[in-house]
């Protein structure tokens, strides 16, 4: 997949939703509006062209990049257009959206918008008391087919977006996305006057792992360390792989002492046991950590430079340790900078 496909998917989704929008706004099918009301609606919409409809729909497209955000839109459009008294959408067996009255199961129309491989999405429409007319059924089938296309395109766009910001091997955010998050959090920290800290981590002597056990084993180590990072961070934190064996943690609302203590817990957890490879071999892995807190007026580059300096010191002092910058004691009992080297 590439950005050309993403652009095509987004455009196709826009056109599809525009068609759905025009159908709902201009169609007299619905069964519960008198003819004169439908005529007034038709006259009001006669001046609208496709570009205007696209503009209206475009305002909602920010929510359609995520397939789960698109599903309620699909449900609302089709329910209104067909005159159904209610509707529900299920994805992978779980209900994700509903509208109107869905208590009576009689006469329900069911449409599969995606097969099991694409999430198993199913749409249910509940008829009014008089049931669905043949015309309404035909419209529902056509809208469901268009909705399936829109949903597939949204999933495609969502997948491409995720690939663009995610490190393929570890599932952490990639270098570009991490630096975007860094700039955003620095701006927020300045505006609110809140602390922000950065942790850089580098696996020790990682080349020896690749040389001795092979690159597949090295990949296992990288993935295991990424999982370890996920287990040690909060939802608001950002964990990323910057490249090779270098990782980073962005810690909003965290001062230098808190960030250093968190890095120390991560260091201990990694070095406290051995990793069993899929080949059955065991190896011990350690990492060095550099920590720095954002200072008033400091840029992202300056924060990174200070953090990188602390990481360099950790390597120079024997690896398998945490060093915080500015390089000063953090108080009695602090283990930062005193690893097991």
Catalytic residues: 245
Rounded to an integer, what distance in angstroms lies between the CA atom of residue 279 and that of residue 331? 44
Q: Sign of torsion, CA 329 334 336 339?
A: positive
C-alpha–C-alpha distance, residues 90 and 113, integer Å = 10
Q: Annotate the chain with three-state secondary structure.
A: CCHHHHHHHHHHHHHHHHHHHHHHHHCCCCCCCCHHHHHHHHHHHCCCCHHHHHHHHHCCHHHHCCHHHHHHHHHHHHHHHHCCCEEEEEECCEEEEEEECCCCCCCCEEEECCCHHHCCEEEEEECCCCCCCHHHHHHHHHHHHHHHHHHHHHHHHHHHHHHHHECCCCCCECHHHHHHHHHHHHHHHHHHCCCEEEEEEEECCHHHHHHHHCHHHHHHHHHHHHHHHHHHCCCCCEEEEEECCEEEEEEECCCHHHHHHHHHHHHHHHHCCEEECCCCCEEECCEEEEEEECCCCCCHHHHHHHHHHHHHHHHHCCCCCEEEECCCCCCCCCCCCCCCC
How far, in Å, CA of 271 to CA of 265, rounded? 10
Q: Which of 251, 222, 23, 276 shows the shortest CA–CA distance to 138?
A: 23
């Amino acid at each position: 997949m590439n950005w050309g496909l993403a652009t095509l998917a987004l455009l196709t989704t826009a056109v599809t939703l525009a068609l759905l929008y025009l159908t709902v706004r201009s169609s007299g099918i619905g069964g519960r509006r008198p003819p004169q009301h439908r005529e007034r609606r038709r006259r009001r919409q006669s001046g609208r062209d496709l570009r205007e409809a696209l503009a209206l729909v475009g305002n909602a497209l920010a929510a359609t990049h995520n397939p789960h955000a698109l599903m309620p839109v699909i449900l609302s459009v089709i329910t209104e257009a067909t005159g159904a008294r209610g509707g529900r959408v299920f994805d992978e067996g779980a209900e994700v959206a509903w509208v109107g009255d869905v208590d009576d199961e009689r006469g329900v129309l069911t449409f599969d918008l995606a097969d099991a491989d694409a999430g198993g999405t199913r749409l249910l429409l509940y008829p009014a008391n008089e049931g669905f007319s043949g015309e309404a059924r035909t419209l529902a089938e056509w809208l469901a087919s268009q909705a399936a296309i829109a949903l597939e395109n949204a999933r495609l766009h969502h997948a491409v977006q995720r690939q663009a910001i995610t490190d393929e091997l570890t599932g952490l955010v990639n270098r570009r996305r991490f630096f975007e998050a860094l700039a955003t959090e620095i701006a927020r920290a300045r505006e609110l006057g809140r602390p922000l800290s950065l942790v850089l981590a580098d696996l020790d002597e990682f080349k020896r792992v690749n040389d001795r056990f092979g690159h597949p084993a090295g990949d296992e180590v990288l993935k295991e360390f990424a999982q370890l990072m996920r287990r040690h961070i909060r939802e608001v934190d950002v964990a990323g792989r910057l490249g090779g064996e270098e990782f980073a943690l962005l810690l909003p609302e965290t001062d230098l002492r808190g960030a250093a203590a968190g890095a120390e817990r991560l260091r201990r957890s990694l070095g406290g046991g051995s990793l069993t490879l899929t080949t059955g071999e065991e190896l011990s892995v350690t990492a060095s950590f550099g920590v720095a807190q954002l200072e008033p007026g400091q840029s992202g580059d300056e924060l990174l430079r200070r953090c990188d300096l602390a990481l360099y010191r950790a390597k120079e002092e024997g690896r398998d340790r945490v060093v915080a910058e500015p390089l000063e004691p953090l108080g009695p009992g602090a283990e930062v900078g005193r690893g097991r080297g």
